[in-house]
Chain A
Amino acid sequence: MSDFEYVRPTTIDEAVRFLAAHGTEARILAGGTDLLIQLRNNDIQPSFILDVKHIRELQTGVQLKDGLVSISATVTMSELVMDPLINRYFPALVDAANVVGSVQIRNRATLVGNICNASPAADSAPPLLVYGAEVVAIGSQGKRRIPLNDFFVRSGVTVLQRGEFVASIELPVPTTRMGAAHVRRTRRRGHDLASVTLCCGVQETGVVRLSYGSVGPRPVLALDTSGILADEKAPEEAKTAIFESIFAQASPSKKSMRASPAYRLAMLRVLGKQALELALARLNDQG
């Protein structure tokens, strides 16, 4: 680990000003569960670590306002899975948050950090994409809202500009009934990084939103508006054809040591079916 200066602003203004001056040499600390590994391995050598945990405006937690649920930058995975609003409206996000790391990791790791880290294998990304999340970013130019699907560029890279940071993630409360489920593949049953991570949401209108990660440089969101996937009586061949088109964007790395491309692509199909069934069952349970 290289030497760095630790900065702990208490207001957004303070943070914005600091980042405007030192944005390229600074790294943001929230949960630190990804950051500390990179520091320890000397993968990064920032001059400053900016801790956002003491910024008052980022301590709003999970709030419902005007049909939007906002999750502030300090909310941990453990807080998320305990939250009644999240459990009520976004059960697939609870599924995903529950499998990030171990209990100890979830007690520190934040949802916003998971998204900003932009790992293709981030488990929270597929459900957030399925639920239509937006990222609220703040910088010296002010506040801007970025649909999550436009946020990711590739592994470790987002559209955030120099000096910008994410204050919260916002999710619209579903206006129609929806069943959603998150599933994934790992090398063992105990805590592990996903070799495929996938979320499927079925709306009562028949629209299916499906998102998957860890099979390409960034998570992918796909929609089926034909009503075929949502139709339990639709023939298998028709469903398979839709899945094939949805999964056409998968491009797993040949270099990864966690699984071969052939296996990941096969598992994507297994998980797709599994998540669709679960999502349909959850939709029907609401009925």
Chain B
Amino acid sequence: MNLQTVGTSPHRGGGFERVTGQQKYVADIKLPGMLESKLVTIDCAHAKILSIDTAEAKKVPGVRLVMTAADLPQPVPRFGPQVADRPVLADGEVKFHGEPVALVVAETLHAAEQAARLVHVQYEELPAAFTVSMALDPAAPLVMDPSLRPNDPLAKTNIFNEHHFGWGEIDESKADLVVENTYSFPMVTQFAIEPHAFIAAPDKDGIAVWSTIQHPYWLQKILAGLLKLPLSKVRVYAPDPGGGFGGKQHTKYEPALVFAAMKLGCPVRLVLTLEETFQAVRRTSCETHIRTGFTRDGRLVFQDIKAHYLLGAYVDIADRVVAKGSYAGAGPYNVPAVRILSKSILSHTPPATAFRGFGNPEVNWAVESNMDEAARLLGIDRLEIRLRNLAKKGDTFIPYDKPADGDWSQTVLKAAELIEWHKPLSPSRHRGIAVGIKLGPTTGLSYSLVRLLADGSVIVSCGTSDMGQGARTVVAQIAAEELGVPYDKVSVVMGDTATVPYDQQTSASRSTVLMGNSVLKACRAIHAQLKTRLAKVYKIDESEISVEHGRVALPDREYPIPELIKVALGKLGGEIIGVGEERKDAEQGHPLGGPACFYEFNCTAVEAEVDKSTGDVTITRYVTVSDVGTSINPLQVRMQDEGAAVQGLGHTLMEHYIFDEKGRIRNLGAADYRILTTMDLPKEFYSETVENADGPGPYGAKGMSEGALLCVSSAVASAVGDAIGTTIRDLPLTPERVWMALQAQK
């Protein structure tokens, strides 16, 4: 196929507006008569609310409303993407540090903040369970009210759910070596640069909401349910978010804003501070106990994995994170026997939600570190042990799921070549390597509308959220390619549930494949209509015309589509409209609701130095290689992989929540929760792809953007372990932790 736009890297859709400050983020939007608001919280992880005195707060000039749970419909409405467990405002009990007990609305933010401090909450502090072991203690306080989970045998525990996956007979497997360890993965936050923000405004006989949301249609559904309004009366605007990383997938404080706006009859806005954001979104932390069996020659015999994921006080989407994160826990390997038990454990901590990698990095950290340890014990090269076990293209490495959809050894070998795996190193330098795999979406539904206008320009309407990953650019490239128009003549409309057709969600690296295919189908619907009209105009049979890939072939000659659009439309002009629908239905009986649409496969290789006097880790060379099928936009693919790698280096080297003895988060905000700066980046950075056009998306593309985060920790720890001669099993690998490991050897 002779591609024109696909496979190139045109300027990013919306990029100019972003870098010049012209883009209006939700926090930039000012509606006429809009009021500002502030959340009221107490400095506790777990408490019974005795009373809330709002009298003094209401006296602050400019204050228009101080809303508590008592001001909401009773019983207090609850919501959640998996289970409706989260109250709009704390309902008699605060279950995590930062859970709002009231919302103050005022004419200025300053007045709202002042009044928020004057809301007097009387409470009785209760013991909090904020670690896995505390939550699993039989004496632990119950996080979720058992009445919210009727007929659930686990209702009187803090275990929300248990997931069992596996095949083969572990207990009868004979292994020459069994490596058994426990690994911990820290609690970290998504840290989007754009603040989370929400506006709610009465809209005739309905409601309009602006949100920094990845899934506007899901938010629409939740709000319609809470307000008992038809979907058509709930309009969600979702301006392109400034980074999401999973943290902006689901409803948070929009319901509270909606109730306040409806009470007051005017628009109300809430912009979260960074500190509040830490208390709103985070990744599941995890403790993984793992037993891995090997033959003498390094072949996997079994994987026996128990993963204890720590959820927050409300489930959000985190139980799905646990299921999907652990399901492929045995990795991209052929393993004869696998037993995975993962637990979703509730705790008095901020609700965990989706975060790039969706539960997979947590278990990958254990599995790949165990591979390294086995390699060392068996005297097998760490690259070789992975190649020996890697599933080959077409291998059914997870029974009943999609077979391996790529030649993954190519990816591994490319990474090995870029890190010069077999080349001798200076004694101070060490290498590490790891692989990671993640399932793409298991279900999906994406509609799109493509309009070919009379002058040969194009408007694409699609409900994907472009939060920086570049979906605007990718869908525009696909439409330009299929309709034969220049990229610059394509406009993309997103972020308005009233005018843009339904898209299930922007997550699981799906949009290039699912929305991409939807746009492709919409363009093909245009091809079909063009064919019909041209057949009429030229008075020939439709079978004599072919329209595809931007060109019209008539019996005498070929034309680019734009040259014939006027002919096809005739005197009245107008436009040709194509509707696209891409659907991946659920499959009954499948443990995840459906097999993977594609796999994200990545190999990361690292060269590092460790300063033994301080524990400092310096990454001297970093290599990330992903199997992406086809790069629709090579520059964006590279940017996504580099971004994922750097984000992964955060939880690998420095990021983690620190709690005090009562379960309050001590390092709220940027001063003591450190993320990487440009000065902390690897000294050399290589990011490459493997492209065999073997994906299910347009032109053979697979989804990508999470893969390069999956095994960052494992690869870095592999190099650090090689340097210090001991394995560290807790993240992050701070200088202090590395130094402690060195001291322990003395």
Contacts and interface: CB of A to CB of B under 8 A. Distances in A.
Interface of A: 1-3, 42, 185, 187-193, 257-260, 263, 266-267, 270
Interface string B602-617: 0000000000011000
Interface string B649-677: 00001100010000000110001101011
A3 to B, nearest CB: 8
B2 interface: no
Interface in B679-699: 679-680
A260 B737 CA distance: 10
Contacts of A3: 114
A191 B736 CA distance: 18
Interface of B: 110, 113-114, 117, 613-614, 653-654, 658, 666-667, 671-672, 674, 676-680, 734-736, 739-740
B676 A1 contact: no
Given A257-B666, A270-B613, A270-B614, A190 B671 contact: no
Contacts of B114: 2-3
A187 B654 contact: yes
10 closest cross-chain pairs (CB), A and B: A190-B677, A189-B679, A190-B679, A263-B736, A257-B658, A189-B680, A270-B613, A188-B680, A188-B674, A187-B674
Contacts, number: 43
Nearest to A185: B614
A57 B573 CA distance: 76
19 contacts: A1-B113, A3-B114, A185-B614, A185-B735, A187-B735, A188-B653, A189-B677, A189-B679, A189-B680, A190-B676, A190-B678, A192-B674, A257-B666, A257-B667, A259-B736, A263-B736, A263-B739, A266-B739, A267-B614
A263 B676 CA distance: 22
A259 B735 CA distance: 10
Contacts of A260: 736
A185 B735 CA distance: 10
Given A42-B117, A185-B614, A189-B679, 5 more contacts: A2-B114, A188-B677, A189-B680, A192-B674, A270-B614
A236 to B, nearest CB: 14
A263 B734 CA distance: 12
Contacts of A185: 614, 735
Nearest to B653: A188
Contacts of B653: 188
B667 A187 contact: no
Contact of B734 (A187, A192, A270): A187
Nearest to B275: A41
Contacts of A187: 654, 674, 734-735
Contacts of B654: 187-188
Given A257-B658, A257-B667, A259-B736, A1 B110 contact: yes
A196 B736 CA distance: 13
Contacts of A188: 653-654, 674, 676-677, 679-680
A257 B668 CA distance: 12
Contacts of A259: 736
A191 B680 CA distance: 10
A287 to B, nearest CB: 29
Contacts of A257: 658, 666-667, 672
Contacts of B113: 1
A40 to B, nearest CB: 9
B117 A258 contact: no
A270 B734 CA distance: 17
Contacts of A1: 110, 113
Contacts of B614: 185, 267, 270
B98 to A, nearest CB: 15
A27 B666 CA distance: 27
B657 to A, nearest CB: 10
A280 B743 CA distance: 29
A61 B660 CA distance: 44
A92 to B, nearest CB: 20
Contacts of A266: 739
A189 B114 CA distance: 37
